[in-house]
Amino acid sequence: MKIVAKTAILTLLFILSVNAQADEALEDRVRAIASELRCVVCQNLSVADSPAEMAVQMRGIVREQLKEGKTPDEIRSYFVSKYGEWVLLAPPAHGFNLTVWLLPFAVLLAGLVWAACFLRRWSRRKRDEPEEPLDPELLERVRAEAARADFPGGPGREPPDEERGRLYQDLRELDFDREAGKLSEADYQALRERYERQAVRRLAESLENAAPDPEPEMTHPPGARGNRRRWAPAAWAVVLLAGGITLGLLLGQSLRPRTSTEDSITGDFMTGTGPQGISRPGSSGNPEEALRRGQEAFRRQDFKTAIEAFRTVLGQDPGHPLANAYMGMVLAQAGHTDAALEALDRALSRTPNLSLALWAKGMILYQEGRDPDGAREHLQRLEGLLPAGEQKDAVREIIAKIGQAPHETPKAPARPGIGGTVRLDPGHAGQAGGKAILYIVARPAGAGGGPPLAVKRIAAPAFPVSFSLGPGDVMMPGMAFEGPLDLSARLDRDGDPLTREAGEPAGAYDGNPVKPGATNVTIELK
Amino acid sequence: MGVGLVLILLGYGFYRDPRYIPSPLVGGAAPDFSLETFKGETVRLSDLRGKTVLLDFWASWCLPCRAEARDLEAAWKRQGDDVVFLGINIQDSKAEALKFIDEFGITFVNGQDPDGKVSVDYGVWGIPEAFFVSPTGRITYKHVGAVPPPILAAKLEEARRDLVSADSGRGEHQAIR
């Protein structure tokens, strides 16, 4: 019995160890394939090395496909078919990619060829040197000058030449050594000839440089070397200048200073995703003027212009309270709650009693349900600032709601909407199709151009358009859809809600103000 | 000449977005998949053959997805029976996804891709990412980032007619995790 039990345990251990080895082998294969794939999230890491969730999922797919019996080539092909060759860390050696593989070798080869040519020419010049006959006149002069102890600096047409002076000194020392018996006759003759040859070459060069109008060299085509010498520096200068300008322009468009913490460091040029930076047209100017422009744009819902204007202000004063408050409201409407809260906090840090920021932050916290106490605190501070009236009562009502049900009710209070029809003047009939978008706007009665309470957006409207505007359409989450309200509508012809053109059909309801629950509200666009 | 070549390469490098991954899928057959919806039903893409399908990959933590949600729902409400919108929630918890759907009042079909297989099958890298599939089952257009409503309408019409767009679209997007 004991033997049977022992055998069973050994068998189990064997099976487990075989399984463990198999798992290890599979993981090695997964790792080998994953290390050749580029992670789509971090991009500079392989799928094997990346800690991203996507990389984990991709490793899981590799593992599964290996278990299904697919070869590494098939698995690589699968990922290439989904993400293109981009997904391979090492680009395949065909087509344009070949340059990546071949260019380093080509450059290395070119370097070797150049070095070989240079060495060959250099050694040939050295070998050829003894064969060059020396100019007897120059040799005579060199010997005469070498005999003079006061050279360099002696009288003459050419300026003092230190190198020639050094060679003459060497020649004189050579004579001294020979007389002292330190040199054999053969060595003396060889060294003397070498120094004299060097001195003659040097003298010829200095004579050529000193001549006022040198004769053209007959060993080269007339003017060829001179022309080359002249244009080469100019060409280099042009190449460097063009390179500098190109680099400067590209860098200037690719990188720019951050205008705020929500901003990206890369520009629209590079990624197509960055918000507009301070270096863009229209971003400079007077901050007060920009703030006014932004507020106007915000009122007429031209958020693109509004954002640009507020960015201008914030570019010059990142803590500007009003610009931050408005920016927070724009961000909140776009769903960027965290960024909105950051902007509102910046506004409140400088002006703690800024009612606009208190209201916006209180409403965001209330609507998000993440911090009912914070919402209550901000709205209570706002309540304390407001004079008695409708607004104060509305804030008080919201504070009461926080106490009752902190996470619910605000999104869609059960209040009736407003229903009706928008008609288009026949004169504008051609403008309704295509990209056109109809906006139906409700503002608190008598608010004039103030921020809208609710907006309905209807793309490609077919007039007459029936509409209903209700609590679901309020701009600022949490605001109650309550009357009396002024109703108006406009047709945006280009379909881009962030721009407004002159002469676009617009109109208001003749029976303004209306109360929620009203039906048959007719708006004529003229 | 060498300097010129280096400058050209440098210029090319600056001009292209290193994070952009061009998709080889546009113009080809949409990879088939089946997905369990949040309502517990199973949807298979091949069962939707004959209809124009918009596949939208999204996550609740993705800000551009939030910005796009209302527009997408509004566009969905305007479509007839021949168009299906299918939301595919990725890299998300079910609870967060349901909260998102509730918050924006989304009524089109949504399901989750828990192990990322559908995402990889479609080469997803930045969300929201939308694929327009024609009634014949071909991907006619891909858009990385929130799709502006006019483009959405135009590309749905192209998909309905099985017309493949030459270029992919790009808007504000967020990298997946």
Per-residue pLDDT, A37? 92
Cross-strand pairs, A419 = A468
Encoded tokens for A494: 């280009």
Q: Using the CB atoms, write b or e for B115-126: b if 16+ within 10 Å.
A: ebbbbbbbbbbb
Instruction: Please provide the size of chain B in residues.
Output: 177
Nearest residue of A to residue B122, measured between CA atoms: A82
Architecture of domain A270-404 in CATH? Alpha Horseshoe (1.25)
Fold of B24-175: Glutaredoxin (3.40.30)
Tell me the CB-side half-sphere exposure of residue B115, using CA atoms within 13 A. Answer: 12
What digits encode the pLDDT tens for the residues B77-106?
Answer: 998 889 999 999 999 999 999 999 999 999
The C-alpha R_g of chain A, in whole angstroms, comes to 43
CA distance B95 to chain A (A): 16
Encoded tokens for A397: 């009502």
Examine the pLDDT at A468 and tell me if it is beyond 90: no
Chain A residues whose beta carbon lies within 8 Å of the beta carbon of residue B145: 273
Examine the pLDDT at A217 and tell me if it is beyond 50: no
Question: Rounded CA gap, A258 and A349, in Å?
Answer: 21
In this structure, of A157-166, A351-360, B30-39, the range with the lowest mean pLDDT score is A157-166
Instruction: Answer yes or no: do B10 and A247 touch at CB < 8 A.
Output: yes
Look-up: residue for tokens 């913490």?
A: A261
Chain A residues whose beta carbon lies within 8 Å of the beta carbon of residue B15: 250
Per-residue pLDDT, A229? 63
- Percent composition of chain B: helix, strand, coil (DSSP 3-state, to 5): 35, 25, 40
Tell me the CB-side half-sphere exposure of residue A211, using CA atoms within 13 A. Answer: 9
Q: Give B108 or A390, the one with higher predicted confidence.
A: B108
Per-residue pLDDT, B39? 92
Fold of A2-87: Helicase, Ruva Protein; domain 3 (1.10.8)
* Contact present, A306 and A326 (Cβ < 8 Å): yes
What are the distances in angstroms from CA A281 to CA A265, A273, A374, B59? 18, 18, 39, 35
What digits encode the pLDDT tens for the residues B58-77?
Answer: 999 988 899 899 999 999 99
Tell me the CB-side half-sphere exposure of residue B28, using CA atoms within 13 A. Answer: 10
What digits encode the pLDDT tens for the residues A224-270?
Answer: 555 566 678 888 888 998 988 888 777 765 655 554 444 444 544 54
A333: number of Cβ within 10 Å: 16
The torsion angles phi and psi of A315, rounded to 5 degrees, stand at -65, -35
- Range B39-61 average pLDDT: 93
Encoded tokens for A207: 């004579």
Q: Give A260 or A320, the one with higher predicted confidence.
A: A320
Q: What is the CATH number of domain A418-525?
A: 2.60.40
| Mean per-residue pLDDT of chain A | 77
- Range A151-178 average pLDDT: 74
β-bridge pairing B83-90 and B52-58: parallel
Q: Is A104 on the interface with B (CB under 8 A)?
A: no
What angle do helix axes A337-350 and A355-368 make, rounded to 10 degrees?
A: 150
Question: Rounded CA gap, A468 and B48, in Å?
Answer: 33
Look-up: residue for tokens 């767009």?
A: B165
The C-alpha R_g of chain B, in whole angstroms, comes to 17
Look-up: residue for tokens 């999204």?
A: B58
What are the distances in angstroms from CA A442 to CA A450, A485, A514, B40, B70? 10, 6, 10, 40, 19
- Range A460-470 average pLDDT: 82
ipTM over 0.85: yes
Q: What sign does the CA torsion over A350, A354, A356, A357 have?
A: positive
Per-residue confidence band for A436, with pLDDT thresholds at 50, 70 and 90? confident
Q: Is B115 on the interface with A (CB under 8 A)?
A: yes
Q: Is B160 on the interface with A (CB under 8 A)?
A: no
What digits encode the pLDDT tens for the residues A323-347?
Answer: 898 888 888 777 677 788 888 888 8
The percent of residues in chain A predicted with pLDDT above 90, rounded, is 6
Question: Rounded CA gap, A77 and B14, in Å?
Answer: 29
CB neighbours of B124 closer than 8 A, spacing ≥ 6?
Answer: B57, B90, B176
Question: Rounded CA gap, A358 and A341, in Å?
Answer: 11
B24: number of Cβ within 10 Å: 15
Per-residue pLDDT, B84? 94
Q: Is B9 on the interface with A (CB under 8 A)?
A: no
Per-residue pLDDT, A1? 47
Encoded tokens for A74: 């098939």
Q: Is B150 on the interface with A (CB under 8 A)?
A: yes
Question: Rounded CA gap, B130 and B123, in Å?
Answer: 11
Beta strands in A274-410 (DSSP E): none
Q: Where are the domains of chain A?
A: 2-87, 130-209, 270-404, 418-525
* Contact present, B63 and B136 (Cβ < 8 Å): no
Question: Rounded CA gap, A322 and A294, in Å?
Answer: 10
Instruction: Answer yes or no: do A272 and B170 touch at CB < 8 A.
Output: yes
B138: number of Cβ within 10 Å: 18
Encoded tokens for A326: 């408005």
Per-residue confidence band for B130, with pLDDT thresholds at 50, 70 and 90? very high
Q: Is B151 on the interface with A (CB under 8 A)?
A: no
Tell me which residue in A52, A79, A86 faces B177 most closely, judged by beta carbons: A52
Per-residue pLDDT, B108? 94
Q: Is A457 on the interface with B (CB under 8 A)?
A: yes
Instruction: Answer yes or no: do B122 and A334 touch at CB < 8 A.
Output: no
* Contact present, B87 and B112 (Cβ < 8 Å): no
What digits encode the pLDDT tens for the residues B6-24?
Answer: 788 777 777 767 677 888 8
A492: number of Cβ within 10 Å: 23
Chain A residues whose beta carbon lies within 8 Å of the beta carbon of residue B156: none
Instruction: Answer yes or no: do A247 and B18 touch at CB < 8 A.
Output: no
Question: Rounded CA gap, B95 and B46, in Å?
Answer: 28
Per-residue pLDDT, A312? 85
Q: Using the CB atoms, write b or e for B149-172: b if 16+ within 10 Å.
A: bbbbbbbbebbbeeeebeebbbbb
A218: number of Cβ within 10 Å: 7
Q: Is A487 on the interface with B (CB under 8 A)?
A: no
- Residue B74: exposure state from Cβ atoms within 10 A (0-12, 13-18, ≥19): middle
What digits encode the pLDDT tens for the residues A64-114?
Answer: 999 999 999 999 999 999 998 888 888 777 777 777 778 888 888 999 999
Question: Rounded CA gap, A118 and A11, in Å?
Answer: 74
Per-residue pLDDT, A283? 43
List the 29-58 stretch of B: residues with Cβ below 8 A of A: none
What are the distances in angstroms from CA A222 to CA A207, A225, A230, A481, B67? 20, 8, 14, 93, 74
What are the distances in angstroms from CA A416 to CA A359, A413, A466, A483, A486? 25, 9, 16, 11, 16
Examine the pLDDT at A175 and tell me if it is beyond 90: no
Question: Rounded CA gap, B30 and B26, in Å?
Answer: 8
What digits encode the pLDDT tens for the residues A181-209?
Answer: 888 888 898 888 888 888 888 888 888 87
Which letter does DSSP use for residue B55 in this model?
E
Per-residue pLDDT, A281? 38
